[in-house]
C-alpha cells in the first residue's frame, strides 16, 4: 500500500449479528470478560441463537467484540488506521482502536449500556429514497415524539419514536414515494426516550479513564475530528440521545484526506452508506481489506 494513502477504520453499530466467530487473541479475552458478566456469547453464536443475539442486551456486546476481533486482524495484516470512527455503538470500538479506552473498559461499559438501552420503549424506522428535508418535515408534522435519529446518507435517515407515531410517519413516507423499513431494535434510541438510560449510564462513563487519542477520532455526535480525551468523554455522555451524524463523519474524513474507509465488522452497511456520501474515498468491507484490496 502506498504510504501516502490514509486508511480509516469504520466500526458498525447495532445491526447484523455475527454468525461466526473468528479465533483471535483479543476475542478470547473479551469473551471471557463477557462470561464473567453472565453473557455466554460464544455459546450463543455456536448454537446459532440468532433470536437471542438480536436482543439489545446481547447484540451490543457481541458486535463490539466482533469489531475488535476484526480490528486486530486488520492490524495483523499490516493496516494501521490514520483516522477512526464508529456508528453509535461502534464508537466504543473506535475509542479502543484510537487508544482512548481499554478493550476491557469498553466492553464492561457496553454491557451496562446494552442492559439500560434494552429498557427503552418505542422503535426506529429507516427511511430510504427521501431527502433529509422531507424526512424532517414529516417528523415535525406528527403529533408525537418522532425525531431523526441518524443522518446516514443524503437520502437515508433513521427516525425514532413511539410506535403509533412511527406508523403515522411510515404512511407519510410512503405517500411521498419513500421507503420505510422498521429496524430490529428494542426502543427509540437517539431520542428523548433514551434520557433515563443515558443518565443511568453516566456514572459508569464518568469513572473511566480517557487517554488522548493516538489518531483523530471523528465523533458521530459532533461530526468532527476529536483530539482530546476529555472532550471525547463529554461527547460519549450524551451519545445515547444524540443524533448520529454519519454524513458529517464521512465528509470530515474526506477533509482529512482519507483514501480508504474499511469496515471493521460484518454488517456491510457502512461501506454502502459511504459510497452514497462521497466518491473521494474508496470504501471496502472487512473481507476485501483483509484479502489485499488495498
What pTM did the predictor assign? 0.95
From the number of C-beta atoms within 10 Å of its C-beta (0-12, 13-18, 19+), residue 99 rates as middle
Taking each helix axis from N to C end, the angle separating 25-36 and 56-76, rounded to the nearest 10 degrees, works out to: 160
**Given 160, 190, 220, 252, which residue is catalytic?**
190
Res 177: pLDDT: 96
State the virtual CA torsion across 96, 289, 1, 275 in degrees, nearest 10.
Answer: -90
Q: Which tens digits make up the pLDDT trace of 187-214?
A: 999 999 999 999 999 999 999 999 999 9
CB–CB of 87/220 below 8 Å? yes
- Could you give the residue ranges of the DSSP H alpha helices within 10-78? 25-36, 41-46, 50-53, 56-76
Q: Using the predicted structure, report yes or no on whether residue 16 has a pLDDT greater than 80.
A: no
CB–CB of 276/156 below 8 Å? yes
Distance separating alpha carbons of residues 115 and 180, to the nearest angstrom: 27
Tell me, yes or no, if the two domains 6-119+192-290 and 123-182 fold the same way: no
Superfamily of domain 123-182: Malonyl-CoA ACP transacylase, ACP-binding (3.30.70.250)
Domain 6-119+192-290, CATH class in plain words: alpha beta
Res 2: pLDDT: 41
Residue 190 bears catalytic tag: yes
Distances (CA, A) of 83 to 8, 133, 240, 259: 5, 30, 23, 11
Q: Using the predicted structure, report yes or no on whether residue 163 has a pLDDT greater than 70.
A: yes
Residue 291 bears catalytic tag: no
**Given 24, 88, 186, 267, which residue is catalytic?**
88
Domain residue spans of the chain: 6-119+192-290, 123-182
For the chain, the average pLDDT equals 95
Amino acid at each position: 500500500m502506498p504510504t501516502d494513502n490514509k486508511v480509516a477504520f469504520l466500526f458498525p453499530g447495532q445491526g447484523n449479528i455475527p454468525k461466526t466467530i473468528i479465533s483471535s487473541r483479543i476475542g478470547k479475552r473479551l469473551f471471557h470478560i463477557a462470561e464473567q458478566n453472565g453473557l455466554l456469547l460464544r455459546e450463543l453464536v455456536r448454537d446459532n441463537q440468532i433470536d437471542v443475539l438480536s436482543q439489545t442486551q446481547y447484540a451490543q456486546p457481541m458486535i463490539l467484540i466482533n469489531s475488535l476481533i476484526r480490528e486486530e486482524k486488520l492490524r495483523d495484516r499490516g493496516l494501521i488506521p490514520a483516522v477512526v470512527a464508529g456508528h453509535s455503538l461502534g464508537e466504543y470500538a473506535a475509542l479502543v482502536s484510537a487508544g482512548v479506552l481499554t478493550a476491557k473498559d469498553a466492553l464492561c461499559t457496553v454491557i451496562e449500556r446494552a442492559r439500560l438501552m434494552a429498557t427503552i420503549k418505542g422503535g426506529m424506522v429507516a427511511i430510504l429514497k427521501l431527502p433529509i428535508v422531507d424526512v424532517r418535515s414529516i417528523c415535525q408534522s406528527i403529533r408525537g415524539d418522532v425525531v431523526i435519529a441518524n443522518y446516514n446518507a443524503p437520502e437515508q435517515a433513521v427516525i425514532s419514536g413511539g410506535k403509533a407515531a412511527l406508523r403515522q410517519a411510515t404512511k407519510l413516507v410512503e405517500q411521498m414515494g419513500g421507503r420505510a423499513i422498521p429496524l430490529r431494535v428494542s426502543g427509540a434510541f437517539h431520542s428523548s426516550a433514551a434520557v433515563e438510560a443515558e443518565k443511568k449510564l453516566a456514572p459508569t462513563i464518568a469513572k473511566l479513564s480517557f487517554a488522548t487519542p493516538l489518531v483523530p477520532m471523528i465523533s458521530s455526535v459532533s461530526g468532527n475530528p476529536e483530539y482530546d480525551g476529555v472532550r471525547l468523554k463529554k461527547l460519549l455522555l450524551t451519545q445515547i440521545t444524540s443524533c448520529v451524524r454519519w454524513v458529517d463523519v464521512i465528509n470530515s474524513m474526506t477533509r482529512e484526506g482519507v483514501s480508504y474507509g474499511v469496515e471493521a465488522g460484518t454488517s456491510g452497511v457502512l461501506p454502502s452508506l459511504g459510497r452514497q456520501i462521497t466518491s473521494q474515498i474508496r470504501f471496502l468491507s472487512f473481507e476485501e481489506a483483509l484479502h489485499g484490496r488495498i
